[in-house]
Structure 1
Amino acid sequence: MARIGLVVLAAGRARRFGGGHKLLAALRGTPLLWHALDAACAAPARPLVIVVGHRQHAIRATLARFRRARRGAPPWRVVYNPHHATGMASSLQAGLAALPASCAGAVVLLGDMPDVRAATIARLCAAYAPGAAAVVPLSAGRRGNPVLLGRPLFAAVAGLRGDEGARRLLARAAEVRTVEVPRGGFADVDTRSDWRRARAQARRR
């Protein structure tokens, strides 16, 4: 199987959240970021890179707490993006640049996805074929995150600017594979309304 890295994006300013740092907001008893980290640590993709930027010291502190709470968590590399204020593109570029040349691709995971599953990441990795542009998850006919970017797309990612992710590149790519995943898990937390909704759902479980 091709070697696939994993990049967790945790550098954004979260302007739409309206105060505070959303990745540190409590959900189901732990910071929001921890839910994505749990999936990342349980997934087979390695090495693991975490990109930080906005309030990096607070994010590094919660990463340290996570490691103490989750004994046996795999090693990771934390990369600081000095250009994080420009948007997601620079963080994506910083994360991919931190991976070794031996990686045939990378799963890109947003840090604000509380319901993402390690099994989804594993299915993306299993579906990748060397030379493919990407693998994306599909649920009920809808694409979502995380996505696996193949090495052929890395150079194109370097041309992204501002808050742009890889969506435009995926739309133009010649070979994008899809894998069916269980319903749910695509939701992210952008606003306080999203956060309150996630908390309400957690109480009903």
Structure 2
Amino acid sequence: MVNTTAVLLAAGAGTRLGRGPKALLPFRGGTLVEHAAAVLEDGGCSDIVVVTGAGAPEVAALRKPGSVLARCRLVANGDWASGMGGSFRLGVAAAPGSNVLVALVDQPGVTPGLVARLLARHHPGRVTAAGYRTGGHGLHRGHPIMFDPALAVWAAATSKGDAGARAFLRAHPGLVDLVDCSDVFDGADLDTEADLHLLDG
């Protein structure tokens, strides 16, 4: 059985939101990065790589004994300002030979059950993505998203700027299995002031 490594992308500065790095935003008595790592762990990911950037020292300082981040591997992206693509590449490089489940730090609505569902539905040689029904346009692809080891490497090799794996996924739609997760989450992320209600949960 192929191991799965969760790669939590948490490097951004949160410029559009204007409240500092989103990883460090307060949520449920801790921070978003701690919450997201706990969700991945509770969902069945025993190996978690957190890719940091803006606020990297502050995230590292949260790795106190017994904390969820102490059980994670931190990888600092010194070139975080160039976009998500570099963080995606670093995360994949830290997980050689593993399936890679990519999650975003700014989606506090992701649940352990959703993560477990993706792990259970994944097939070798495929990409498994959470799908959401919003806006009346049918099921659309979102995060988290899980890559077979070889496909993770392939997608990382084609990632540029802030696009992450987007170009790869658009070029190879036949490799992607969508798993409807609309019953537990709507796919929303924390991007602008209008999204701050997501921190109320």
Tell me if both proteins adopt one fold, taking TM over 0.5 as the criterion. yes
1:92 to partner: Cα distance: 0.4
Backbone CA RMSD of aligned residues: 2.1
Whole-angstrom CA distance in 2 between matches of 1:81 and 1:69: 22
Residues 40-85 of structure 1: per-residue CA shift (max 9 Å, x gap):
12122342111111121011123x25x5455xx7822111112111
Within-5 A mapping of 1:114-129: 114-129=108-123
Structure 1 unpaired stretches of 5+ = none
Residue 195 of structure 2 corresponds to 194
Contact 1:6 1:47 survives alignment (8 Å): yes
- Structure 1 stretches (4+) deviating beyond 3 angstroms? 67-70
Return 180-189 or 118-127, whichever deviates more.
180-189
Structure 2 unpaired stretches of 5+ = 134-138
Within-5 A mapping of 1:58-69: 58-62=58-62, 64-65=63-64, 68=66
Residue 136 of structure 1 corresponds to 129
Contact 2:159 2:167 survives alignment (8 Å): no
Contact 1:27 1:198 survives alignment (8 Å): no
Residues 169-195 of structure 1: per-residue CA shift (max 9 Å, x gap):
112223211212224252211123312
Residues 75-121 of structure 1: per-residue CA shift (max 9 Å, x gap):
221111121111000000001100132x1x21001111111111211
Whole-angstrom CA distance in 2 between matches of 1:125 and 1:119: 10
Matched, 1:40 2:40: yes
- Among residues 65, 86, 90, which one is paired with 2:86 in the alignment? 90
Q: How many equivalent residue pairs?
A: 193
Name the SS for the 1:146 alignment partner: strand
TM-score, length-normalised on structure 1? 0.84
Residue 23 of structure 1 corresponds to 23
TM-score, length-normalised on structure 2? 0.86
Contact 2:12 2:22 survives alignment (8 Å): no
Residue 76 of structure 2 corresponds to 80
Whole-angstrom CA distance in 2 between matches of 1:198 and 1:33: 14
**Identity between Structure 1 and Structure 2 (%):** 32
- Among residues 120, 142, 148, which one is paired with 1:150 in the alignment? 148
Whole-angstrom CA distance in 2 between matches of 1:136 and 1:59: 27
Whole-angstrom CA distance in 2 between matches of 1:19 and 1:27: 13
Residues 137-172 of structure 1: per-residue CA shift (max 9 Å, x gap):
123223221101222322232221111121221122
Residues 4-47 of structure 1: per-residue CA shift (max 9 Å, x gap):
21101111122111142222222333222222122112122342
